[in-house]
Amino acid sequence: MKISIITLFPKMIKGFFEESIIKRAVEKKLVEIEIVNLRDFAIDDYGTVDDRPYGGGTGMILRIEPIYKAIEKVKSQKSKVKISSKNLKVVITSPKGKTFNQKKAVEYSKLDHLIIIAGHYEDVDARVLDFVDEEVSMGDFIMTGGEITAVAIVDSLVRLIPGVLKKDEAVRQESFNINNKKLLEYPQYTRPESFKGLKVPKVLMSGDHKKIEDWRLKKALEETRKKRPDLLLDK
């Protein structure tokens, strides 16, 4: 899989992909991550990529030409990993977009090529959306730019690519994916067995795998009812 991020601030996100699981995935050639500086496609020698909004208003708007050129350049480049140009999606981060979730992460992880445009400033020229498949949001709040959202999307989907994590079971038993159900993850414990009177549930030390599995499902349901009851209503 190849992931291309078009951004005004490459340094802001570059370091994130040079550590931990994502770094190993890149080294194993399970994923290629490309960071594209939008200013490389500026309309002039001064690096201009934005302008004032027609009709007046506050803030600056990202122009369509640099974004369009960046998208086309990214699409035309050869990849270090084998990908299909047909299994490609272009998304842009925006507070107007649909909220990103685990279901969307799974969907994106099956793509050959994902292009993420990190929105910035007041907005982008609305005509950009004619060249984008989806608008994606992290939630109902405003951030300075879309770089954090882009990083979150990449982190959540890369770990779903086969071979990235050592055990696929670790993915199947995480929050939002307990026994293929939308549940929060059950409570986890490690040593010591007792700390200031707080003890690890005996069933987890029983060695009875059926009882442990039943306990975990029960606790996952309890956690979900308590903290995210909306997930139980979401079909």
Say which amino acid occupies 16.
F
pLDDT at residue 108, rounded to an integer? 98
Indicate which CATH number applies to the domain containing 216.
1.10.1270.20
Is residue 50, in this structure, part of any structural domain at all?
A: yes
Is residue 163, in this structure, part of any structural domain at all?
A: no
Tokens representing 59?
């803030």
Is residue 95, in this structure, part of any structural domain at all?
A: yes
pLDDT at residue 175, rounded to an integer? 66
Residue 142 assigned ligand-binding role: yes
Is residue 28, in this structure, part of any structural domain at all?
A: yes
Residue 1 assigned ligand-binding role: no
| Domain match, 123 and 217 both | no
Please tell me whether the peptide bond between 66 and the residue prior to it is cis, using omega within 30 degrees of 0.
Answer: no
- Count of residues in the chain: 235
Contact 61, 52 (CB under 8 A): yes
Is residue 153, in this structure, part of any structural domain at all?
A: yes
Residue 138 assigned ligand-binding role: yes
Measuring CA to CA, how many Å separate 29 from each of 22, 169, 192? 11, 22, 39
Tokens representing 25?
């995935």
pLDDT at residue 173, rounded to an integer? 60
- Cβ neighbours of 180 (radius 10 Å): 7
Is residue 8, in this structure, part of any structural domain at all?
A: yes
pLDDT at residue 86, rounded to an integer? 80
Contact 148, 138 (CB under 8 A): yes
Q: Which domain holds residue 116?
A: 2-158
Is residue 60, in this structure, part of any structural domain at all?
A: yes
Please report, in tens digits, the pLDDT of each residue of the chain (235 residues total): 999 999 999 999 999 999 999 999 999 999 999 999 999 999 999 999 999 999 999 999 999 999 999 999 999 988 877 777 789 999 999 999 999 999 999 999 999 999 999 998 889 999 999 999 999 999 999 999 999 999 999 999 999 999 999 876 556 666 666 555 789 999 999 999 999 999 999 999 999 999 999 999 999 999 999 999 998 886 5
| Domain match, 182 and 139 both | no
Residue 140 assigned ligand-binding role: yes
3-state secondary structure of 50: strand
pLDDT at residue 228, rounded to an integer? 92
Is residue 105, in this structure, part of any structural domain at all?
A: yes
To which residue do tokens 């405003």 refer?
142
Residue 143 assigned ligand-binding role: yes
Residue 141 assigned ligand-binding role: yes
pLDDT at residue 171, rounded to an integer? 62
Measuring CA to CA, how many Å separate 190 from each of 9, 15, 194, 203, 212? 40, 31, 10, 13, 15
Indicate which CATH number applies to the domain containing 130.
3.40.1280.10
Report how many domains make up the chain: 2
